[in-house]
Amino acid sequence: AEIYYFMGEKGKALEEAKAKGLLILVNKEHPVDQNYKPDDLSEVKYYAPDRDRAARYMRAEAAEAFDMLVEKAAEEGVVIKMTTAYRSYNFQKILFDSYVKKEGEEKANTYSAKPGQSEHQTGLSVDVSSPSVDYQLSNDYGKTAEGKWLADNAYRFGFILRFLQGKENITGYQYEPWHIRYVGLTAAKEIYEQGLTLEEYLLKNEIE
């Protein structure tokens, strides 16, 4: 009976997360509309210097969870800050087009999302960095003390590492140790413990 009770609680938590839009899948196959914008964007407290002010926002629940993550990390001597969170469709278009100009569309599409295909538009994703790497976004971040702390602890605040190493064929993007996505505590814990991508997790739990 206890097992069924647990499944019931888990199911309830996932249904709630789904109803709030926390389990929305945005990728190359599942774009969001050009006009999609969350109506509960809230400013994140902890951000890297000299970053675009418009990108300091996340959905309220995610922003609160992120601030808690940063504060807990700081207690443990780890400095983590937001570099960019919410990005509008138009901002993503400018960004993607600039990468295409530099490296061509095929290469750009391995590390940058086309407009409408970016999780940043949902207000649930945040790129983070630390002073130890001068607030840059680099694969080496995964090897730093801060990057390791993030990988080990993000789930405790409802976040997952979204683009895992070795899962590029599933996510469509290269490894990004700095990009975390809010999915709520229940899903985050399971995704972390099972080493899954969001795509795999949603499929496994038959969540569309």
- What single-letter DSSP state applies at residue 122? G
Whether residue 176 lies in the annotated active site: yes
Helix, strand, coil proportions of the chain in percent (round to 5)? 50, 15, 35
Residue of 176, 190, 193, 200 marked catalytic: 176
Q: In 3D, which of 82, 84, 90 has the Cα closest to residue 36?
A: 90
Place of tokens 């590029």: 168
Show Cβ contacts of residue 125 under 8 Å, excluding neighbours closer than 6 positions. 85, 118, 119, 162, 179, 180, 181, 182
Catalytic positions: 176
